[in-house]
Amino acid sequence: MVIGAGYAGLTAATRAGRRDRVTLIAPETRFLHRVRQHETAAGHPEHRPAVDQLLRGRRVTHLRARVTELDLLGRKLMTDSGQAIGYDTLVYALGSRTAWHGIPGAAEHAYPAERAAELRQRLSEAPRPGTLAVVGGGATGIELAAELAEAYPEWQVRLVTADEVGGWFSAAGRAQVLRVLERLGVRLYEHTRVTAVGPDGLHTAQGTVEADVVAWAASMEPHALAAEAGLTVAPDGRAVVDAYLRSVSHPDVYVIGDAAAVTLPRVGTLRMGCATAQPMGRYLGRVLSGRTSAPFTFRYQVQCLSLGRRDGLVQLVHGDDSMRPMVFTGAVGRLVKAGIVRLVVAILR
């Protein structure tokens, strides 16, 4: 049984389901495709294939439900439709969601990526353009700010972050990010920690940043069910797994994707990302269908950003995700990123 149909869970299910019967539990009828949610916020068409279409020809039964409780000793789970379902093998792939970090007012007043369609509606139906603050200078915040500034040029877009915007990139990579944001008119508030969000905008240690609309992209947190069920979790809430992606406390449970804290020799602890989730899903699909008994291996190659529809960044990295000096920018960067996003969907099957 696989719970969660994101990049990790769906990729594992389609591969395991070539040979064996698999039950896949997840609520959505269309693939979530989170890496394109910033495009949705900007009003671009959604590219979300139907889950059942992706499962065609596989021995996978998709149960549209949410898991509410896990009984690891009894090998069963409960769903929001009140069903108790037993399993032989469990693959836990519930992913992550936007983290609010306990900031007062954030969940009430800010739009996370999960509410991208509501954000689009709010911006496109506003009686007049105003100020829009994006919180978070990581990859998601940068992509969101660039996309929104390009799609809604009459709005004043601000990008607010506790550290530096794209500060982890190589010098050339960060320069590209800053150049595009400047071209799109995005005003940066770096080293500005948000302490509260209200109807007037952001409250920070440095004063108020006025905003009519706030979008929140200040990191992700794993689903709480892993800890609630008693799986051993890292301080960030991800379930700690061994070299075969089995829970260290419950080796009969596999954990993959953003839900898993995977530490590999000479690579370190993998970051949450589609880039790491999908290779875990592919690997586990091979394990479950008996095609490998080797431990999981992974090395980083690139980090990619879309910067609106005309620009992008491909940052080459070493296997441990540290920066190489070389980058591809402009149309090349954008096309490579767009190609990767399409490839991700092809690999789901």
Ligand X SMILES: Cc1cc2nc3c(=O)[nH]c(=O)nc-3n(C[C@H](O)[C@H](O)[C@H](O)COP(=O)(O)OP(=O)(O)OC[C@H]3O[C@@H](n4cnc5c(N)ncnc54)[C@H](O)[C@@H]3O)c2cc1C
Cβ closest to ligand X, residue 93 vs residue 146? 93
Which residues, listed in sequence order, are joined to residue 86 by a DSSP beta bridge?
A: 76
| 261 touches ligand X by CB under 6 A | no
Which residue among 12, 24, 26, 313 contacts ligand X (CB under 6 A)? 26
Q: Does 308 bind ligand X (CB under 6 A)?
A: no
Which residue, chain included where needed, has tokens 């269309």? Answer: 30
Shortest Å, Cβ 79 to ligand X: 7
Name the token pair of 227: 């800890």
Q: Of residues 204-233, which lie at the interface with ligand X (CB under 6 A)?
A: 223
Of these, 34, 58, 282, 334, which contacts ligand X (CB under 6 A)?
34
Contact 51, 6 (CB under 8 A): no
Q: Does 54 bind ligand X (CB under 6 A)?
A: no
* Shortest Cβ 98–ligand X spacing (Å): 7
Contact call for residue 270 and ligand X (CB under 6 A): no
Which helix or strand (DSSP H or E) is residue 37 part of? helix 37-41
Among 1, 8, 134, 177, binds ligand X (CB under 6 A): 8
Q: Does 285 bind ligand X (CB under 6 A)?
A: no
Considering only 18, 19, 44, 66, the residue that binds ligand X (CB under 6 A) is: 66
Question: What is the distance of C-alpha 99 from the center of its chain?
Answer: 11
How far is residue 149's CA from residue 152's CA, in Å, rounded to a whole number?
Answer: 5
- Maximum separation of any 2 CA atoms in the chain, in Å: 59
> Helices 171-183 and 139-151 sit at what angle, rounded to 10 degrees?
30
166 lies in the site for ligand X, by CB under 6 A: no
Task: Pick the closest to residue 262 from 287, 288, 283, 292 (CA basis).
Answer: 283
Q: Are 118 and 111 in contact (CB under 8 A)?
A: yes
The answer to whether 226 and 261 have CB atoms below 8 angstroms apart is no
Least distance from ligand X to the Cβ atom of residue 205, Å: 26
By CB under 6 A, is residue 241 in contact with ligand X? no
Residues that bind ligand X (CB under 6 A): 3-9, 25-28, 32, 34-35, 37-38, 66-67, 93-96, 113, 140, 143, 223, 257-259, 272-275, 277
